[in-house]
A and B are shown apart, each in its own frame.
Chain A
Amino acid sequence: MPRPVVKEITFTLDGREITAPEGMILVDAAGKYGDTEIPVFCYEPKLGQPVGACRMCLVEIEGIPKLQTGCSTPIRDGMVVHTQTQRVHDAQRAVVEFLLINHPLDCPVCDKGGECPLQDITYGWGPGTSRFIEPKRHFKKPLELSPLIAIDRERCILCYRCVRYSQEVAEDYQLVLQQRGAASYVSTFDGHPYVAPFSGNIIELCPVGALTSRAYRFRARPWDIEGAGTVCAGCTAQCNVELTVRDERVLRVLSRDHSEVDDGWLCDKGRFSYQAVHAEERITQPLVREGAELHPASWEKAIEAAAAALKKAGDRAAALAGGTTTNEEAFLLSGLLRDKLGSSHLATGVGGEQPLDVVRALADPKLQATVPDLEFAHTVLLVDCDPIDEAPVWDLRIRKGVRRHGTKLVVASARPTALDQNAAATLRFAPGGAEGFLVALDAALSGDAGNLGGAASAAGTNATAIQEFADALRAGGEEVVIVYGDRALRGSAGRALLNIASRLNLANVANAGLLELPSTPNGRGLREVGFAAGHGPGFSTISAPGHGAEAIASGLASGDLHTVWLHHVDPLRNYPNRPAWEKALGTAQTVIAVESQLTDTVREYADVVFPAEAYPEKEGTITHPDGRVQRLRQAIGHPRAASDVPGSGVRALWQVISDVARELGHSAGTAIAGAVVSKRVFEAVPFYNGMTLDGIGGRGLRWQEHATFEVEQSDPFVLAVPASLPAKGESELRLGTFRPLWAHKDVDLSPALQFIRAKQVVELSKADADARGIGEGDRVEIGNGTRIPGTARIRAAIPAGSVFVAEGIAEHNANVLTHGIVEVHRVGPGSTDATSIPIQSTPAVEGRAEMPPSAGLPIPPREVT
Chain B
Amino acid sequence: MGLSRAMILFIVTSGLSFVLGVLRVPNVAHGSLYMIGAFSAFSISKLFGGGPIGFWLALILSPFIVALVSLVSERLLFCHLYQREHLMLLLFTFALMLILGDLVKLTWGAEYRSIMAPDFFRGSVSIFGLSLPRYNLFLLILGPLVAIGLWLFTNKTKIGKIARAAAVDMEMVGAVGINVSWVFAFAFVLGCFLAGLGGALVAPTVSITLGMDHDIIIEAFLIVTIGGLGNMWGAMVGSLIFGLTQSFGVLFWPQFAIVFPYTAVVIVLLWRPRGMLKSVW
Question: A and B, one complex?
Answer: no
Binding site for B on A (CB under 8 A): none
